[in-house]
Amino acid sequence: MFRQGSERGPRVRTARHGAHRLFSLLAHDVALAAAVAALGLLVFLACFGPFIWRRSATAVDVGSSLLPPSRAHPMGTDSIGRDLFARFNEGARISLAVGVAVVVVGALLGGVAGIVAGASPGWVDATLMRIMDAILAFPPLILAMAVTIGLGAGLETAALGIMLTSLPYYARLIRSEVLRIRSLPFIEAAHALGARRTRILARHIVPHVVSTLLIQAAAVFGYTILTLAALGFVGLGAQVPTPEWGAMITDGLQYFLTGQWWIGVFPGLGVLLAVTAASVIADRARDILDPRGEYAHV
């Protein structure tokens, strides 16, 4: 009993210290607090919006078409009377879910490729990096469009194309980090003491690249939201009648100059908030996790 209590105490203190550090960071950084609040709002709308606002995102009401924002329709209606607030919430759920899926799968595959390449010099490293160079030879959006067109337009193929273009960013960054860590004195000491390569990799190298992987994942999340909206904008993302921010912006273009600005502006604001929040969080995460950064003293 005494042993369990002694282990639980430090864990509780560590959790409290982590929470205190987080609140201190938010209190000292207005931009980070605003980014977290904006992303939290989008997550809230994506998760609970359909329960709070029970209108259908695909129900057509031609008699209520092109209505401006009001109490009945907070974001107005589109050209066939669909409620834009309900569609915005559904679009947030789709964009955030695809963003998380792409980030998780891309981080796992790209991270493993980077670790293997950095820990296995020779033909393995060369082969993996040449594959990543081949992917980087194409502009990311063009490659994502090519994959989507080749496999058939849709949300799943768009996510696959975006995930493919994100792999080199993980792999090359993690590879360079592994090569840097391998040259540090404590790794050389572990080799001198007879530690096996797999043990050194699992116990010493992988834990040190996790923070770098998380920072890159935050940056890729914003890239995913923006690229998914771009694919939806050109008709290669979610197909009709699925609400998706990029496709909603496309629908609003033809009505923007005639005064129905709300059709394209609100989904555009959703993309702007998500991408900006992800970028700010990724930037601050790099500063926080870097011991030489400006947040090391907080």
> Structural domain boundaries of the chain?
10-62+70-289
Look at residue 91 and tell me whether its pLDDT is greater than 60. yes
Contact yes or no for 45/92 (Cβ under 8 A): yes
What is the distance between the alpha carbons of residues 128 and 90, in angstroms, rounded to a whole number?
38
**Least confident span in 87-91, 165-169, 199-203, 217-221:** 199-203
Q: What is the pTM of this model?
A: 0.84
Return the higher-pLDDT residue of 17 and 55. Answer: 55
Look at residue 80 and tell me whether its pLDDT is greater than 70. yes
Count other Cβ atoms within 10 Å, centred on residue 89.
27
Contact yes or no for 63/81 (Cβ under 8 A): yes
- Smallest CA-to-CA distance from 227 within 84, 95, 91, 87 is with 95
CATH class of the domain whose range is 10-62+70-289 = mainly alpha
Mean pLDDT of 210-230: 91
- Smallest CA-to-CA distance from 85 within 72, 96, 100 is with 72
The structure tokens 């600005």 sit at: 261
